[in-house]
């Protein structure tokens, strides 16, 4: 039986943080969490995702999680609160950044 818990997620969107409360299962990645937010709470959220993601290979899903840059598809959600920000200052929209 999968254990689930509520996770509070703050996402920097432009110059303001938007907060979401999301149901997270054990073993869920930050990418899974972003997909759940998009599918169930806010389909205006922009973040990088594609069919081959979850393999930690392309590096395009970089995001800053609680101040540390990581791949969203490879970073497991272990905390009850997350702060997500773009990984660089060349933001296209929300968590999507121009690659340097």
Return the CATH number at 13. 3.10.20.30
Helix (H) or strand (E) holding 36: helix 30-36
State mean pLDDT over 30-35.
96
Asked if 79 contacts 66 with a C-beta cutoff of 8 angstroms, the reply is: yes
| Residue-level pLDDT at 71 | 93
Give CA–CA dist 47/37, Å, rounded: 11
State mean pLDDT over 76-87.
97
State mean pLDDT over 1-15.
90
> How many domains, in total, are found in the chain?
1
For 72, counting Cβ atoms within 10 Å of its Cβ (0-12 exposed, 13-18 middle, 19+ buried), the class is buried
| Residue-level pLDDT at 94 | 97
Give the model confidence (pLDDT) of 47-77 as tens digits.
Answer: 998 666 656 667 789 999 999 999 999 999 9
Give the model confidence (pLDDT) of 14-26 as tens digits.
Answer: 999 999 999 999 9
pTM check: above 0.85: yes
**Pairing mode, if any, of strands 4-13 and 81-85?**
parallel
Strands (E), the chain: 4-13, 16-25, 62-65, 68-71, 81-85, 91-93, 96-97
What φ, ψ does residue 47 adopt, rounded to 5°? Answer: -155, 160
| pLDDT beyond 80 at 13 | yes
Q: Please give the residue range of the domain that contains residue 90.
A: 4-97
């Amino acid at each position: 039986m999968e254990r689930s818990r509520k996770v509070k997620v703050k996402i920097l969107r432009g110059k303001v943080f938007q907060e979401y409360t999301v149901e997270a299962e054990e073993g869920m990645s930050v990418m899974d969490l972003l997909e759940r937010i998009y599918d169930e709470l806010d389909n205006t959220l922009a973040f990088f995702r594609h069919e081959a993601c979850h393999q930690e290979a392309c590096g395009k899903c970089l995001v800053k999680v609680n101040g540390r840059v990581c791949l969203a598809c490879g970073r497991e959600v272990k905390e009850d609160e997350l702060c997500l920000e773009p990984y660089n200052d060349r933001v296209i929209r929300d968590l999507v950044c121009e690659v340097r």
